[in-house]
Structure 1
Amino acid sequence: MDRLVAAKVFIAIVEGGSLTAAADALDMSRAMVTRNLAQMEEWAAARLLHRSTRRLSLTPAGEITLARCHQLLEIAGQMTVLDGSEADTPRGLIRVACAQILAQQVLGAALTQYLRQYPQTAVDLVVNGRAVNLVEERIDLAVRITNELDPNLISRPLGVCESVVCASPAYLAAHGTPQRVEDLAHHNCLTYSYFGKSLWKFTDAKTGELASVPVSGNLSANESMALLAAAREGAGIALQPLFAAAPLIKSGELVRLLPRYLPQTLGIHGIYSSRRQMPLALRAMLDFLVDWFATR
């Protein structure tokens, strides 16, 4: 964890009188403030604050640590700053986390273009299917597709993800083609979950009416790429990001179903730890991805 950031957080807690006040002052999530304080106490090997329901007060070790935090920030402020064009050039390593489907279908190409545009930067792409802890795993940016983002997270909308319902010609020949969204309840649907039923939501393009259909099947997974491959092999009907399914629909390996009914659009979000003193390379990447999703 960055000691300069932790020092600023500790000073803000003392000056604001609470962790919540520090989070507001620094435009940082309260969870991030708590982690920085915990790390500062770990470094100091001592409790730094007396906590009560009414206020916070410094322990003797906290008094010493506060003075050292001020000294640390003063020294950092005296360091020579790059001048001219160098100060405005994104540089350095950015660690980016995302799911497999985003890595393969979108970010692989997008980050390649980003690196060409900003040759003094580097990217470490971490691919997995779970929500990451930005601080503990040293992630600068997590890119996620969801409409259920934790309101305590700091994020920036990057774009939207349209979806499509699809199945292989072999599955449809064996089980029939659904004509209405309600028919999906009687088909083997491949769901993005570990158990139970999923609720697929649609808008009727002609009437504007909303419809929610509970679906289930004999195969579920926490990674869309696995479900896409299974749908191609005839396992069932899948709800997939359009950018992933489009090549298979074009080739005839999958068939787009229920074109009158538009699946719920999902948001694509960039999640990061703090808006203050954001590395220039990260800010450039967020701006780049917003443009990338908008134009593609």
Structure 2
Amino acid sequence: MDRITAARVFVTVVERGSQTAAAEHLDMSRAMVSRYLGELEAWVGARLLHRTTRRLSLTGMGDELLPRCREMLALADDLQDRGRRADDGPSGNLRIASSQSFASAWLAPALAEFVARHPAVTLDLQASSQAVNLVEERIDLALRITNQLDPNLIARRLATCRSVICATPAYLARHGTPRVPAELSRHNCLTYTYFGRSLWQFERDGEPLTVPVGGNLSANESSVLLEACLADAGIARQPLYAVAPLLRAGRLVALLPEYRVEALGIHAVYGSRRQMLPALRALLDF
């Protein structure tokens, strides 16, 4: 039995949802797909899939074996890639996940420069407001802005994300300008669903300060809150990379300059150091 092919068949059946779809994707007959699955189950000594006329589902052993098969395939592909392209530089496809605001403001131009340097690499950027599951979504690299990382993942800190509290001149003309963080409680604060929705963290002279905030609009994407802020809807906490041009142009005003907003780490998150693709290593170094 070709165990690499059998593992690839198993993973593809799970990802595609049926043996028929897997057979079409792998360009083999459905009977051959069934044969590989049967031989893999015979080799491990346990059933991996519950097969019914309507759907497939993983058994307990199948659920345990799936990530190991994916690791084995990644290693096999890496070995093949190293042998075939040893002198050609990084190549292949990478799937990258990032928040929409970070991808638009900073990541996309950087990726454009990277693929210009490495034309044999192709990138698939998934922009989402939620943290994705790297294994289930087949993500090679996720960019996350947070101070609370999953300890089961490998992370490389790339930079620091600094934020500002800001509002439009029109909003401040109507509602006044807060001079200390406590005055934010009297304002309409636009909050991010997944971070600091009701508490904003500050620091002054080394002393931390937590301020409860609230308002009539929250969202799961900071770029949406930025647009609402520009429409005079309220006060927002925004990453400096997104609002720096707007502050310089006078469209937004930075508030509470004597208080530093909590900084967040910008991290590259990936699944494994041992089976790292050359293209991923090159991208991380870049």
Task: Compute the TM-score of the two structures, normalised by the length of structure 1.
Answer: 0.70
Amino acid across the alignment from 2:272: S
The answer to whether residue 89 in structure 2 is matched with residue 100 in structure 1 is no
In structure 1, how many angstroms separate the alpha carbons of the residues matched to 2:213 and 2:182?
Answer: 9
CA displacement 1:111-165 (0-9 Å, x = unmatched): 0011111121111111111111112211111111111111112221111100010
In structure 2, how many angstroms separate the alpha carbons of the residues matched to 1:84 and 1:196?
Answer: 47
Amino acid across the alignment from 1:243: Y
* Offset of residue 77 of structure 1: 7.2
CA RMSD of superposed structures (Å): 3.2
In structure 1, how many angstroms separate the alpha carbons of the residues matched to 2:92 and 2:80?
Answer: 21
Taking structure 1 as reference, are residues 85 and 237 closer, same or farther at Cα in structure 2, changes over 3 Å only? same
Taking structure 1 as reference, are residues 149 and 77 closer, same or farther at Cα in structure 2, changes over 3 Å only? closer
The answer to whether residue 79 in structure 2 is matched with residue 81 in structure 1 is no
Partner of 1:258: 256
Q: Percent identity?
A: 53
In structure 1, how many angstroms separate the alpha carbons of the residues matched to 2:157 and 2:79?
Answer: 32
In structure 2, how many angstroms separate the alpha carbons of the residues matched to 1:136 and 1:43?
Answer: 24
Stretches of structure 2 that go unaligned for 5 or more consecutive residues are 8-35, 47-60, 62-71
Task: Kindly report which structure 2 residues correspond to 1:189-200, keeping only aligned pairs within 5 A, or say none.
Answer: 189-193=189-193, 197-200=197-200
Task: Compute the TM-score of the two structures, normalised by the length of structure 2.
Answer: 0.72
The answer to whether residue 229 in structure 2 is matched with residue 231 in structure 1 is yes
Partner of 1:149: 149
Secondary structure at 2:110 match in 1: helix
Stretches of structure 1 that go unaligned for 5 or more consecutive residues are 8-39, 50-58, 60-69, 289-296
Of 262, 272, 275, which residue of structure 1 is paired with 2:270? 272
Secondary structure at 2:102 match in 1: helix
Secondary structure at 1:90 match in 2: coil
Partner of 1:91: 91
In structure 2, how many angstroms separate the alpha carbons of the residues matched to 1:113 and 1:77?
Answer: 27
Taking structure 1 as reference, are residues 41 and 178 closer, same or farther at Cα in structure 2, changes over 3 Å only? farther
Partner of 1:219: 217
Partner of 1:21: none
Larger displacement relative to structure 2 (129-138 or 274-283): 129-138
Amino acid across the alignment from 1:255: V
In structure 2, how many angstroms separate the alpha carbons of the residues matched to 1:226 and 1:79?
Answer: 41
In structure 1, how many angstroms separate the alpha carbons of the residues matched to 2:113 and 2:216?
Answer: 40
Secondary structure at 2:165 match in 1: strand
* Offset of residue 81 of structure 1: 2.2
In structure 1, how many angstroms separate the alpha carbons of the residues matched to 2:127 and 2:91?
Answer: 22
Secondary structure at 2:219 match in 1: coil
Task: Kindly report which structure 2 residues correspond to 1:155-170, keeping only aligned pairs within 5 A, or say none.
Answer: 155-170=155-170
Taking structure 1 as reference, are residues 162 and 133 closer, same or farther at Cα in structure 2, changes over 3 Å only? same
Secondary structure at 1:182 match in 2: helix
In structure 2, how many angstroms separate the alpha carbons of the residues matched to 1:283 and 1:164?
Answer: 33
Contact residue 153 and residue 271 of structure 1 kept, 8 A: yes
Taking structure 1 as reference, are residues 222 and 248 closer, same or farther at Cα in structure 2, changes over 3 Å only? same
Taking structure 1 as reference, are residues 112 and 79 closer, same or farther at Cα in structure 2, changes over 3 Å only? closer
Taking structure 1 as reference, are residues 211 and 99 closer, same or farther at Cα in structure 2, changes over 3 Å only? same
Taking structure 1 as reference, are residues 249 and 217 closer, same or farther at Cα in structure 2, changes over 3 Å only? same
Task: Kindly report which structure 2 residues correspond to 1:18-167, keeping only aligned pairs within 5 A, or say none.
Answer: 44-45=40-41, 48=45, 81-82=83-84, 85-86=87-88, 89-167=89-167
In structure 2, how many angstroms separate the alpha carbons of the residues matched to 1:101 and 1:217?
Answer: 21
Amino acid across the alignment from 1:151: P
Say how many residue pairs are matched. Answer: 229
In structure 1, how many angstroms separate the alpha carbons of the residues matched to 2:108 and 2:82?
Answer: 36
